[in-house]
Amino acid sequence: MINKIKLTFPFTFIEKAKIQKEINELEDYFWIKDTTGKLLLVNDTYAESLGSKAAQIENKNEQDFLPKQLYNLHRTIDSYIIDSTNTIILQGVSAPVIPGLIRIFH
């Protein structure tokens, strides 16, 4: 999926729709952001964990909707990735806790 995104970025409207459909089929969280923390692409699973729709958080900065402690954690991890050029795989990631957000799990 990442290679496909790299090949088509920046997206045309049609390419974005195709990729959005594919990432929405993933059960796991999926997001891509730039070095400033702006979310460029997110799937429905990730957006719903934040109480939003993908279109509502794409092109917005994480700082606008993540709790401060979670945002700080993301920035620390991002700094490591940028400085070291290593990748990180997060396993067992739980949904962010957003105060006042009620979630119903099936």
Domain of 71? 2-84
Per-residue pLDDT of the chain (106 residues; tens, 9 = 90+): 878 888 888 888 899 999 999 999 998 889 888 888 899 999 999 999 888 999 999 999 988 888 888 889 888 988 998 899 888 776 665 555 555 544 443 3
CATH assignment of the domain containing 59? 3.30.450.20
Express each pLDDT in 45-63 by its tens digit: 999 988 899 999 999 998 8
| Structural domain includes residue 37 | yes
CA 58-59-62 angle, to 5 degrees, is 80
On average, the pLDDT of the chain sits at 83
**How many domains does the chain contain in total?**
1
| Structural domain includes residue 99 | no
Q: Where are the alpha helices (DSSP H) in 1-106?
A: 2-8, 13-24, 44-49, 54-57, 68-84
| Structural domain includes residue 94 | no
- Per the CB < 8 A criterion, the answer to whether 78 and 70 are in contact is no
- Per the CB < 8 A criterion, the answer to whether 29 and 93 are in contact is yes
- Per the CB < 8 A criterion, the answer to whether 91 and 85 are in contact is no
User: Residue type for 72, please?
Assistant: N
| Structural domain includes residue 95 | no
- Helix (H/G/I), strand (E/B), else coil: 88: coil
